[in-house]
């Protein structure tokens, strides 16, 4: 009996012959004719890659680059050259529920589902606000978790490796009292990588005052302990999901204030629960969906030192430094309703409405009121706040019509209007014209707009800090045009091409306050003053070389300028990704991946040398005996095999940028019973 690659990992046929997504239009469509530039990554892909994290998975997406923020070196998913400190232009969702922080517009301390619990990831490259509302500016990432049908039985697993990483998990899928129950319990304990940071903000203060208290150059602190629970129950048209996360002793990377600090750490408690009703066949022509969701996030930081003990600032010696404790506690409740009607000839009409109630209900903050006395004082007792407690409400309506107006032609028109309680409403249209030229070739012309909602930090930071908020901010907007081709050259080769052009207007940026506007020490404020103009190309191919091997390759080019025609900076102009899957004999599987990142210019006013190019080579060898249905699944892998010094853009004041991990190894064992 011949064992084929597709028998072990269906990484070609499952993605080319049967590839479909719902993220592009709200209902299932082929990626070739979907009204958006989409990428699908399946559970088979994830296991074949030996991926340990969402970051490793998403590096495979054309035009997406994984950068780093200074806070905990959290990942930034830069799409088509759009880079920002909080990554607020990309909408992340889990099972259709947005993951957003009110405070900075990013994802806060969110942690994605464990990779072994992910069934598929659907990605839009480009705008998505006509369907998903705020923050779907440069892309949408929807992570869909497994149900009992996707993982029948029980699996116990353990992943260990570099940096004293210990990661056991347990998966279960089965019937309990008439419900299809899926459960994932995942624990992670790691020291994190310890690559060198060459300079921090304390280094600059040392240079100005003659002190030597900075930890730089020194190692990063990225340790953490995390418990991650996912569960869902399905019965008929109903599905309930619960996600609970607890993270302790999480290192701060370069710190929340750009100071290396071994004592600074983060604690996170998150709860997300949702109830979904989805009836794909209500009556003859209707499909209906209703989802109620709730998120509760407590994100706290301790021992944040804006100056280290022994520093001198403002002419004052700080024997205890300048420590702070701070946090953001928020709740978000959503109701999303939608329906699709297929009773009209050649039309599929989809429409819906929704409501969001988001509450930043507690912002704890304490610091040394007297820098010579080591007693922390609650800021509220002094009449000070980091960000005032606040509420945001959002109501929306949307409608979309997909019209097959002629043989092999399809036109999708959509419109969504969002009302907000604290900034102006916004309307976002979309249009997609798809032509199935022949059974193997499809072309599409896409147009869409999107918006980013101002964060609470940008709107409401009070005047007692160096940066003051601007409550008159309006949404950032993006207008994008795309041209796409999807060509099935043969049964074993698929090629895609995408050309894009976009303009982001009213971009929210800091500006210097005039002397008349500066009050109580405030130096900067936020305003809608920026513009980005980008264009580029994305190429992708999947080639089934033979029954034992396949090759995935993609290339992306992007050029982004500001409103003055100057280089936007901090993103790669060129990216290339290569992945080869090879079945060795009956039971051994080798996955090799190469990721090339090149030509990363600086911001126009950043005089440092451009970031160095790098090539990352990852290898995973897996034992999986499909023929004899052996319950064991064992893998060993090396990441960054060439030990490249990979750096991501850091604060312009600092030398050295933010390091990614050097060479890493891991081993993984799974047992199903």
The answer to whether residues 604 and 567 touch, using CB atoms and an 8 Å cutoff, is yes
Task: Look up tokens 């420590």; give the residue.
Answer: 323
Q: What is the per-residue pLDDT for 12?
A: 56
The SS3 call for residue 6 is: helix
In the chain, where are the structural domains located? 5-672
16 pLDDT above the threshold of 60: no
Q: What is the per-residue pLDDT for 605?
A: 85
Q: What is the per-residue pLDDT for 521?
A: 57
* 405 C-beta neighbours (distance < 10 Å), count: 10
* Each residue's pLDDT tens digit, 22-66: 877 777 888 888 888 999 999 999 999 999 999 999 999 999 999
Q: What is the per-residue pLDDT for 515?
A: 57
The answer to whether residues 8 and 535 touch, using CB atoms and an 8 Å cutoff, is no
Give 237: exposed, middle or buried? Use CB within 10 Å, 0-12, 13-18, 19+: middle
- CA proximity to 629, closest of 597, 661, 668, 673: 673
* Beta carbons within 8 Å of 248's beta carbon, 6+ residues apart: 224, 225, 226, 267
The answer to whether residues 271 and 299 touch, using CB atoms and an 8 Å cutoff, is no
* Beta carbons within 8 Å of 637's beta carbon, 6+ residues apart: 50, 618, 619, 620, 621, 665, 666, 667, 668
* Each residue's pLDDT tens digit, 325-347: 999 999 999 999 999 999 999 99
517 pLDDT above the threshold of 70: no
Q: What is the dihedral of CA 559, 577, 114, 646, to 10 degrees?
A: -70
Q: What is the per-residue pLDDT for 11?
A: 59
Instruction: For 381, list phi and psi in degrees, rounded to 5.
Output: -65, -20
Instruction: For 458, list phi and psi in degrees, rounded to 5.
Output: -70, -25
* Each residue's pLDDT tens digit, 294-311: 999 999 999 999 999 999
Mean pLDDT in residue range 656-671: 96
Q: What is the per-residue pLDDT for 32?
A: 82
Write the CATH number of the domain with boundaries 5-672: 2.40.170.20
* Each residue's pLDDT tens digit, 554-573: 999 999 999 999 999 999 99
For residue 337, what is the enclosing H or E element?
strand 323-341
Q: What is the per-residue pLDDT for 9?
A: 64
- β-pairing, 365-368 vs 549-562, is unpaired
* Each residue's pLDDT tens digit, 589-648: 999 999 999 999 998 888 899 999 999 999 999 999 877 678 999 999 999 999 999 999
Structure tokens at 590: 């080798």
586/584 Cα distance (integer angstroms):
6
The answer to whether residues 115 and 51 touch, using CB atoms and an 8 Å cutoff, is yes
1 pLDDT above the threshold of 50: no
Q: How confident is the model at residue 17 (pLDDT cuts 50, 70, 90)?
A: low
Structure tokens at 126: 């480009």
Q: How confident is the model at residue 20 (pLDDT cuts 50, 70, 90)?
A: confident
């Amino acid at each position: 009996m011949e064992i084929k690659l597709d028998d072990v990992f269906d990484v070609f046929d499952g993605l080319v012959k049967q590839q479909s997504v719902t993220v592009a239009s709200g209902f299932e469509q082929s990626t070739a004719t979907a009204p958006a530039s989409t990428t699908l990554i399946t559970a088979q892909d994830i296991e074949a890659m030996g991926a340990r994290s969402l970051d490793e998975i998403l590096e495979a997406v054309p035009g997406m680059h994984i950068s780093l923020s200074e806070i905990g070196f959290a990942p930034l998913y830069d799409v088509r050259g759009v880079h920002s400190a909080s990554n607020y232009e990309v909408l992340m969702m889990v099972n259709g529920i947005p993951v957003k922080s009110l405070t900075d517009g990013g994802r806060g301390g969110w942690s994605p589902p464990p990779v072994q619990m992910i069934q598929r990831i659907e990605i839009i490259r480009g705008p998505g606000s006509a369907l998903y509302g705020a923050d779907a500016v440069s892309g949408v990432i929807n992570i869909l978790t497994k149900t009992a049908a996707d993982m029948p039985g029980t699996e116990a697993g353990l992943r260990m490796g570099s940096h004293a990483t210990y990661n056991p998990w347990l998966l279960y899928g089965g019937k309990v009292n008439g419900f299809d129950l899926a459960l994932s319990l995942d624990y992670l304990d790691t020291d994190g990588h310890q690559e060198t940071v060459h300079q921090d903000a304390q280094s600059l203060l040392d240079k100005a005052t003659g002190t030597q208290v900075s930890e730089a150059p020194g190692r990063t602190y990225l340790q953490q302990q995390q418990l991650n629970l996912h569960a869902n129950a399905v019965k008929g048209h109903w599905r309930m999901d619960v996600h609970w996360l607890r993270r302790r002793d999480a290192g701060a990377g370069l710190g929340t204030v750009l100071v290396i600090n071994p004592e600074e750490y983060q604690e996170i408690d998150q709860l997300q629960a949702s109830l979904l009703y989805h009836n794909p066949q209500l009556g003859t022509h209707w499909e209906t969906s209703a989802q109620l969701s709730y998120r509760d996030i407590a994100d706290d930081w301790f021992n944040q030192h804006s100056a280290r003990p022994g520093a001198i600032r403002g002419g004052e010696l700080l024997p205890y430094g300048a420590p702070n404790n701070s946090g953001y506690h928020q709740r978000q409740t959503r109701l999303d309703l939608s329906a699709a009607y297929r009773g009209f000839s050649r039309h599929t009409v989809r429409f819906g409405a929704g409501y969001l109630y988001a509450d930043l209900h507690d912002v704890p903050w304490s610091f040394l009121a007297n820098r010579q006395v080591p007693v922390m004082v609650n800021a509220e007792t002094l009449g000070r706040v980091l960000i005032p407690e606040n509420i945001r409400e959002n109501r929306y309506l949307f409608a979309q019509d997909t019209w097959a107006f002629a043989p092999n032609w399809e036109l999708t028109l959509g419109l969504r209007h969002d009302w907000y309680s604290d900034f102006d409403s916004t309307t976002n249209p979309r249009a997609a014209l798809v032509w199935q030229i022949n059974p193997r070739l499809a072309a599409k012309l896409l147009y869409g707009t999107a918006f980013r909602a101002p964060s609470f930090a940008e709107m409401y930071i009070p005047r007692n800090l160096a940066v003051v908020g601007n409550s008159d901010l309006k949404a950032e907007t993006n207008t994008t045009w795309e041209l796409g081709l999807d060509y099935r050259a043969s049964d074993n080769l698929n090629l895609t091409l995408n050309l894009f052009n976009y303009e982001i207007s009213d971009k929210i940026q800091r500006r210097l306050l005039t002397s008349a506007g500066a009050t109580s020490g405030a130096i900067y404020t936020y305003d809608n003053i920026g513009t980005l103009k980008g264009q580029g190309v994305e190429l992708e191919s999947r080639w089934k070389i033979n029954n034992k091997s396949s090759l995935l390759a993609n290339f992306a080019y992007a050029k982004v300028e500001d409103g003055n025609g100057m280089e936007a900076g901090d993103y790669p102009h060129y990216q290339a990704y290569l992945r080869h899957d090879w079945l060795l004999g009956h039971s051994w599987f080798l996955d090799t991946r190469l990721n090339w990142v090149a030509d990363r210019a600086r911001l126009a006013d950043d005089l440092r040398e451009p970031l160095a190019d790098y090539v990352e080579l990852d290898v995973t060898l897996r034992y999986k005996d499909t023929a004899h249905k052996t319950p064991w699944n064992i893998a060993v892998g090396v990441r960054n095999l060439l030990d490249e010094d990979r750096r991501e853009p850091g604060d312009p004041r600092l030398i050295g940028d933010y390091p990614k991990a050097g060479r890493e190894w891991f081993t993984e064992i799974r047992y199903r019973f």
